[in-house]
A and B are shown apart, each in its own frame.
Chain A
Amino acid sequence: MPEKSDLPQGTLDLLILKVVALGPVHGYAIAQRLEQVSRGVVQVPQGSLYPALHRLENRGLLAADWEETESGREAKFYRLTRKGRTQLETEAASWQRLIEAIGLVLKMSEGGAK
């Protein structure tokens, strides 16, 4: 079993927004998708998933409707609002910049620092 790392602070919201952006989806599916996509490397604490969803809904980044699943049960499906999409874009961009910057720093040759 590969070693699992905790999510960096503040990235859970970003990941949720990204997953939901692909189409309306319920909480369990979000958890599943996150686990699959990150190939089990990222430990998604299920306990923090729902509070995060509710928080995002509260801030108007997500909207939710009760719909039937394929198995015929009612589930709460989340979808991205326009505000959520903007938020996702800005956050993804800034995340990208951060990664690049950190990558640059890490790629520095030992002597280059002088």
Chain B
Amino acid sequence: MTWWQRLWHRTRMEEQLEKELRFHLDQHASELIAQGQAPNEARRQARLALGGPEQVKEKCRDARGTRWLEDLLQDTRYALRTFRQKPGFTAIALLLLALGIGATTVMFAVVNSVLLRPLSYPESDRLVTLRVFTEQIGELWGFSNLDFGDAKGQSLTLALAAWTYGGGTISEPGEPEYVNGRQISAELFSTLRISPVKGRAFRPDEDRPGAAPVAIISYGLWQRDFGGEPSAIGKSLVYDGKPYIVVGIAPAGFQLDGEADVFTPLELRQNTDPRMQNRRARFLRVMGRLQPGFGLAEGRAELALIARNLAKEYPESNTGLGMIAYPLQKELVGDIGSTLWLLLCAVGLVLLIACVNIASLLLARAASRERELAMRVALGAGRSRLARQCLSESAILGLGGGGLGVVLAFVSIHPFVAFWPGSLPRAEEVHLDWRVLVFAVGASLLSGLLFGLAPALRVPVRGVEQMLRASARSIAGSSRRLHSAFVISEIALAVVLLVSAGMLGQTLLALSSLDPGFNVHDVMAARFALSPATLGNPEQVREAWQDVLDRARRVPGVDSVTLADIIPMREGENSLPYWTTATPPPTNHEPVALASCVSPDYLKVMGIPLRQGRFFNEHDRIGSEPVVVIDDNLAQHAFGTKDAVGKRIWIPAMSPSPILIVGIVGHVRHWGLAADDQSRVRDQMYYPFAQVPSPLLHFFSSVMSIAARTTIPPLKVVEPLGQQLRGAAGDQVLYEIRTMEQLVNASLARQRFLLLLFGIFAGLALLLACIGIYGVLAYLTGQRVPEFGVRMALGASARDVMRLVLRQSLGMIFAGVGVGIFAALAAGRLLVHLVEGMRPTEPSTFAIMIPILVAAALFASFLPARRAGRIDPMRALRQE
């Protein structure tokens, strides 16, 4: 028989065992009777010789080899029976666990999908992303087209591909619609090893100048504008005013730093885009795949060599410029990792508190079951057997709670990800997979073990007799100490979470009260694309933009309007090197400033203070003397004084000759309220859109935004503004519409999100700790009822007894707070390290948070204390 057959036929085997032993006894007895013994005596002797049928049976069962499984089944049945008897306890324990494990599972699922699971490309661990760096400004994502071409041609260790941002209006087929686009090099798809779902990728010669215009469209656009028809391949698409032939459909969900709908070959626009031939125009994102047989270290060494050679060959642009490769996964995930681990830790703490809570509940129950356990020891149960039973009880509880937790996680994971501020990288990949399930089961079992261990270790071994004889009032000192330890650790954990939440709250308050440097109220900003039809000669373009401004100004509710290529706190930037002496600093060692290209009303719209001189006016136009306005940071850095009006500054990207500074304005926290202080580029300058050289106008026209100060709520002007600006062909649209208030808020979204979650966790921890204190005190007080009875009979007042109970709880609370403060200081360091703009732990945080905790804990202990004070001494004494 195999072991499962033996298990299956358990009843029959039991019967046979019984029968076999009975036969033995009968046989022995009848033999003794034949020898002349009295029948009763004969049976007694037979039983003695065998040595107790029940013990023999037990040993036979052990010999069967399925013992552990039978025990497990028995323990399970026993545990379920106990749980049914205590539905209240079971429900609370399950709920606590389900919450703890559910939350932990959700966080782990996010960590797993975003950080741990490899990217969905084949052999994604061999994919890298490339960056350039200089000593002065650190790392930049951008390569110039020529540098990319050289690196691609020379590298033996890496197969390289590049892409850059783009976008335009699709005027055919369908309604005019502005979409994001990407210009990609022909080998991008093959480097990533993905193929289009329909059609083909670009051919190697299709990103060369003069090739026929072809495009790959996104899965979404295919569904939207072509109805998902296979016949879309070969159809024409008018994008950004030019006709393209659709040759392929990208796989659903394919992204290159955000979604895009149209992919066009990189160099098709070479003739119109002067950046292509400029080694200083670093606008390409470069990624690569390590060639077989080479590792990251070899790739990096080769890139360093290539960069050195380029610096020798093109010193005017490449001196001091390095190149480096990073694993693509790290790049895509960015700095979100620290936030995720932080949240996983916080959620783990909550789970830990829940476990401690259940442990103390279980322990209280175990203590009251001591007599039952002692009885079972007396009846022959082994210590390990009883410990195993305790553990299987808690394991079942753990798994039950874990199961509920997984259900909870399954339901809540997508809302949680959707709730994530900004965009969580790889959010579309977040789901529960087998690894998450293994984690959840592991966490459940571990929790079960954690809270089952204490009761299991308390299984009685010695002194069973005394225990059976003793009345319920005797309680071992070790149990009281263990209970106190539980309460202390719960409170310490709660202190950590409360102080962390307090720190985040204070940081957020401090950050929100920072001056952004502009007036955030009643301003809206949106990207805007001119109709491709107007993008003929430069004069037309300038007129078209002037017309846009004039029309916008006439919209009711609009106070003033401006154009700007970059908007504070929104994505997108343009950093340019500058210097202030006739001899330029060494290449790539120049200071760098954030440069905004704006129209004259910019200062008025944004409410940025003018410190000195003037801002731009309609006389600053193409042909007149080039002028810039700088912020007080740049004035201080470059000239060591705030008085820089009339001085000149070299900005090679704009003009070979020095440019006149006509005004100084206040600094704007462009990189976000929290992040600006830490950003590398803190100098700012402004130059007039009207002075942008004609060859660059086409490019600038594709990146300009409109911002308006309004006299009514800013979003109310969006509709009429859109109507006004549609243009003759009706193909000009506003997109990415934001108010400045939204942008400022979004710049603190990470801090706010963390605060919200930590707030929830801290609240939960506080609640759990209070339940824990209440439970433990109620139990301990219950055990001391006879003692209190004696005290009261001897003259103690109700107040004395209450004081006694409260003193006991205060002891635990303060011990917990003491431990917690040290842990919180350590956790605070971690937070400062991980969250930008985070302020170090302040005494005030403790001063606010700890009294809250102590008050809540005292409140929780008050109920048991009052009950103790109301004990009737006579009844208590009679209980004995």
Contact = CB atoms under 8 A, between A and B. Distances in A.
Best-buried of A28, A55, A58, A73 by chain B (most CB within 10 Å): A28
A10 to B, nearest CB: 15
B63 interface: yes
Given A28-B28, A50-B59, A54-B60, A76 B50 contact: no
Interface in B597-614: none
Interface of A: 26-28, 31, 45-48, 50-52, 54-55, 58, 66, 73-76
B20 A47 contact: no
A26 B50 contact: no
B64 interface: yes
Contacts of A58: 63-65
Contacts of B365: none
A29 to B, nearest CB: 8
Interface in B429-452: none
A48 B58 CA distance: 11
19 contacts: A28-B28, A31-B24, A45-B51, A46-B51, A47-B56, A47-B59, A48-B59, A50-B20, A50-B24, A50-B56, A51-B59, A51-B60, A51-B62, A54-B60, A58-B64, A58-B65, A74-B19, A75-B23, A76-B19
Contacts of A51: 56, 59-60, 62-63
A28 B23 contact: yes
Given A51-B56, A55-B63, A58-B64, A46 B50 contact: yes
Dominant secondary structure of chain B at its interface with chain A:
helix
B458 to A, nearest CB: 32
Interface residues on B, range: 20 to 34
A47 B23 CA distance: 14
A73 B60 contact: no
B74 interface: no
A43 to B, nearest CB: 11
B16 interface: yes
B641 interface: no
Contacts of B55: 47
Contacts of A74: 19, 23
B52 interface: yes
A48 B26 CA distance: 18
B288 to A, nearest CB: 63
Nearest to B57: A50
A47 B28 CA distance: 14
B62 A27 contact: no
B876 interface: no
Nearest to B6: A58
Best-buried of B16, B27, B49, B59 by chain A (most CB within 10 Å): B27
A30 to B, nearest CB: 10
Contacts of B56: 47, 50-51
B398 to A, nearest CB: 33
A50 B65 CA distance: 15
Given A47-B59, A51-B60, A51-B63, A73 B52 contact: no
B51 A27 contact: no
A54 B49 CA distance: 19
A55 B52 CA distance: 19
Contacts of A50: 20-21, 24, 56, 59-60
A54 B64 contact: yes
